[in-house]
Structure 1
């Protein structure tokens, strides 16, 4: 009998642990990753010629990052590892991939989507200026190029990543002008019972805040961003916002890193025809899965932050759990006791994630408050006023219909950055619940492909 073909998309925490489980079962999985090296975004590895210590790169997560890297290094001889390769479509039991020189359609018996997360962004007037980055982009610059995105940086948004990246910049010696958190501090107190589900992770968050305070960084809570000041020629020059007290303030800077926690990378799950359901806690649509990671499509499994944002530690557990579920479904022996333990572990992280959603709420009201001249979709240059005008003229109240008339979400990112905010604006203008607006459907290719590319078949 031929060995079943298992494909794992992603080489971050969940993908690494999934591959480890497959190798332990005597299989040689195909591990496809868009990155140049393993680790994912959270544990992104520095280039070979960089020698910064783990403590400087990953802070409180240094030990876990090093353990994951060492595990993957040990697996390389036992897996079919394909870095710098984009999975751009999933159809008819095949994964469609493209690298710099080859495109290929690979059949699978089991597909594990460990696609990770990306920044969840709320547009603000001026966010199209040079010097305005996502938190993830700022982190990539620091880890992969060892550079700061500016001489004087403001971090603005909410969620653990806001404090993590700001503290990493402080550790690297960059000047952090301020951390502007849109969530009120009191929300954390209300979320404390759920956050206590993972006390060690909670303490890591406290440690990050202490790092910032020791460095003399100004941290403000409950702020309302007004605009990133600047112009198209000079780029960002400052941030204007309302403090929690209601007073308008301005901070000079030449770079802004912004983001409101994270959102799952769900485009491939969408192309695989997985069912989605609306999650009211985070106000977004997420792919459905059972307690072991099975999607609604037979043979397709979801793990890590690509399914729901539960954090890197949960991603390791859910990646291994999904792999064991796939192995069991393929008729291979698995440890049922271990699967029960992993389910319990993931459940703890789910409770903690509920706490994070309460502590750092998505600022939904900021979207309908955007002025008409504010850019909503950066890829296509569509303003909030443009979308409002389309709604008035066409009556569009559904995300994809509004997209067809306005071009919001038609650019390179396919709505990854603007889609959630656009849905909030549509809902507010139409006077309907945001779940009624729906979600932007994924389209192949999920990212732009090179014009000239070879055929691997």
Structure 2
């Protein structure tokens, strides 16, 4: 389709900022849409006005990179149509539907090309008690610290797997929180076997090892090979329980008043789904990802970059944002630096190899579905339990996530499966004895995030900024 609308970037994190910079450098003025009130994304999220914590306290080793991203986009502001505080809640082949939180205004924006730099969200595997007040995802705990300037509790435990586990624990300890323990699902042998692959990026590996060493030096207990069992408390967290995952042993209990947990990240890909992009299953990340090459998707004019395409981290997001923008420009038949494009491809390939090592060092709990009790809430929006999902599979012969969704409402609530989709698929696959890639994924539906009814029923104004 020959779109006559805007060149749009959704997301103003590292990928979106570098994509915008590349387009502007080539004379294209993009519309940059972001949910947050200020640019930077999750990893480089800026403090609210009036907060004065030093960048080194907020971002640690990444302070200089955070400053660079913030300054780059600030310099671009006169050359882009920047729309902060706007949620893209729907997308089709003609336009994007936007909702502005501050005014409640609904805008429909025609697009010509679109770069989706939508980032990622936590990958959650529920345990009994995870809906207790005081339990946060790792990303949620990080937002509280960076954006609200507060901790999720006074005595905090962090659990799960992945490098974010140690980064958030380090940030909390640096901020003065009492970090009672880190419960890492990964074992030391798994992490040791992954070192050769991660040594492809020695500086990044050294940084991760430094976080672990610093935490140990400052008295934070780190328990590896640890399976989170449950959260105790009703009106608030009182303690968490864990047990060794690969050997029989007693259950350990740690008193605390807050828990941050998660098992890595998963891409935010609902808009790509609504736009009709093809997906493929990635065994390494154990997820259905948008099929793409050099940022180009199966839909002409639609590009993806950063963690919204594949979880590779903030450094790779910057490179991928630039690469997607170069692909967009090339499809416009505009002159681009092919040598630079090739260098970006090579660097992204090296980061991909490093990421393969990370996946081995911090494995996904593939046996989670065998351990979770029937009465554990999986879909908190619709109060669907693990037992409800299992009974739907065995009682109705349902072996597809969208069929299970229709029958028991898992993933049909406010979050549209963003929190429960991964766990739901693991349960369905286990219950019907099929590989998880064969049970599919919850299809994206509009609105991708909650919006007022007025955004769905009221008249929409149209606006475009052509580049």
TM over 0.5: yes
CA–CA distance in structure 1, aligned partners of residues 5 and 461 of structure 2: 21
Offset of residue 279 of structure 1: 0.7
Secondary structure of the structure 1 residue equivalent to 2:233: strand
Structure 1 CA distance, aligned partners of 2:337 and 2:427?
48
The Cα offsets for residues 316-359 of structure 1, whole Å up to 9 and x where unpaired, read as: 00100100110110121111111011111111111111111111
Distance 1:53 1:347 in 2: 34
Q: 1:201-212, aligned counterparts within 5 Å?
A: 201-212=204-215
Instruction: Report the Cα distance in structure 2 between the residues aligned to 1:206 and 1:43, rounded to whole angstroms.
Output: 21
Partner of 2:87: 86
Normalising to structure 2: TM-score of the pair?
A: 0.95
- Which residue in 1 is equivalent to 2:225? 222
Question: Equivalent of 2:319, from 317, 320, 325?
Answer: 317
CA distance in 2, matches of 1:190, 1:341: 29
| 1:368–1:429 contact (8 Å) kept in structure 2 | no
Q: Which residue of 2 aligns with 1:401?
A: 403
Shift of residue 3, structure 1, vs aligned partner:
9.4
| 1:60 matched residue in structure 2 | 61
Shift of 1:55: 0.6
Task: Tell me what 2:441 maps to.
Answer: 439
What are the ranges of 5 or more consecutive residues in structure 2 without an aligned counterpart?
463-467
Deviation at 1:403, TM superposition (A): 0.8
Superposed counterparts of 1:385-396, under 5 Å: 385-396=387-398
Given candidates 404, 422, 425, the residue that maps to 1:423 is 425
In 2, are the aligned partners of 1:123 and 1:367 still within 8 Å (CA)? no
Q: List aligned pairs for 1:13-28, cutoff 5 A.
A: 13-28=14-29
- SS where residue 452 of structure 1 aligns? helix
Partner of 1:34: 35
Aligned to 2:461: 456
Residues 85-107 of structure 1 deviation map (CA, whole Å, 9 limit, x = unaligned): 01111112312211133212212
CA contact (8 A) 1:364 1:421 kept: no
Q: Any idea what SS the aligned residue of 1:241 has?
A: strand
CA drift of 1:377 comes to 1.0
CA deviation string 1:405-454 (max 9, x = no partner): 11111111111111111111111111111111111100011011123356
C-alpha distance after superposition, 1:94-128 (max 9, x if no partner)? 12211133212212221100001110111111101
- Structure 1, residues 156-177: CA drift from partner, whole Å, max 9, x if none? 0000000000000000001101
SS at match of 1:296: coil
Matched, 1:45 2:46: yes
Please list every run of 5 or more consecutive structure 1 residues that lacks an aligned counterpart in the other structure.
Answer: none
Would the aligned equivalents of 2:4 and 2:111 in 1 still touch at CA under 8 Å? no
Counterparts of 1:185-264 in structure 2, within 5 Å, are 185-231=188-234, 234-243=235-244, 246-264=249-267
Conserved in 2, the CA contact under 8 Å of 1:3 and 1:27?
no
Q: Is the 8 A contact 1:122 1:367 kept in 2?
A: no
SS in structure 1 opposite 2:194?
Answer: helix
Deviation at 1:261, TM superposition (A): 1.1
Find the residue that maps to 2:371 and give its secondary structure.
coil
C-alpha RMSD over aligned residues: 1.4
The CA deviation string for residues 144-193 of structure 1, in whole angstroms up to 9 with x for no partner, is 11111011000000000000000000000011010000111111111112
* 1:106 partnered with 2:109: yes
Query: Counterpart of 1:148?
Result: 151
Displacement after TM superposition at 1:214 (Å): 1.8
| Residue in structure 1 matched with residue 465 of structure 2 by the alignment | none
Counterpart for residue 121 of structure 1: 124
Alpha carbons 2:394, 2:432 under 8 Å: kept: no
SS at match of 1:410: coil
